[in-house]
Chains A and B, each alone.
Chain A
Amino acid sequence: DTGVSQDPRHKITKRGQNVTFRCDPISEHNRLYWYRQTLGQGPEFLTYFQNEAQLEKSRLLSDRFSAERPKGSFSTLEIQRTEQGDSAMYLCASSLDLWRAGELFFGEGSRLTVL
């Protein structure tokens, strides 16, 4: 499978716990993005990496959220002290340098439920 892989696909946690999601982009893609999608809404941008550098962050990305992309390969998104409002689908996407901004290849997402 050469698509964008996300793990876990589903996560149920209690409020206050920390969770971490992993994204493995398409191997030759050097751009990686995180988006959040709630029911009935379009995806909302969270952050963007070019190789290992985090170049854009949304104001939606509060201090409880942190994303990393060590060595410019896989990425992790950690949410600390989860709140019920964090319940959403967390989507990872990747793209090539040669593609235009806005042309992304999305994974199937990691669904978070905070009880």
Chain B
Amino acid sequence: QQQVKQSPQSLIVQKGGIPIINCAYENTAFDYFPWYQQFPGKGPALLIAIRPDVSEKKEGRFTISFNKSAKQFSLHIMDSQPGDSATYFCAAVRGAGSYQLTFGKGTKLSVIP
């Protein structure tokens, strides 16, 4: 059972566009939602994260929007650049002492000049 569903699987945008990646979760025990960025041949790197009591968080060109009632959250990349081309993973972690991250399947983003 996939606990974090991510879409789309791939995304192509032009430089300067605003790609949006969506995730939905089922387990209401999840209490922290990080996003990771992964370049080919590298391990994932933490990008930005949000708690469910916050509706929006911005860090630089990256913004997370969170809808707790719908159990959905999304990543927006403002003024996207070719260097943002990577695979993006949403993830969720359950509180109560668990440190197990549950990842979505990933979105491969290509930003074309």
A-B pairs with beta carbons under 8 A, tally:
65
Complex formed: what's the CA distance from A44 to B89 in Å?
A: 12
Question: Are A102 and B93 CB-contacts (below 8 A) given A56-B98, A93-B43?
Answer: yes
Chain B: CB-nearest residue to A42: B103
B14-22, B44-52, B75-83 - the one binding chain A: B44-52
Interface SS of chain B: helix, strand, loop or mixed? strand
Size of chain B's interface in residues, with CB distance under 8 A? 26
A14-22, A67-75, A79-87, A104-112 - the one binding chain B: A104-112
Chain B interface residues (CB < 8 Å from chain A): 6, 32-34, 36, 41-46, 49, 89, 91-93, 95, 98-106
Chain A interface residues (CB < 8 Å from chain B): 4, 31, 33, 35, 40-45, 48, 55-56, 58, 91, 93, 100-109
| 18 A-B pairs in the complex with CB atoms less than 8 angstroms apart | A35-B101, A40-B105, A40-B106, A41-B105, A42-B6, A56-B98, A58-B100, A93-B43, A100-B32, A101-B95, A102-B34, A102-B91, A102-B92, A102-B101, A104-B101, A106-B43, A108-B43, A109-B43
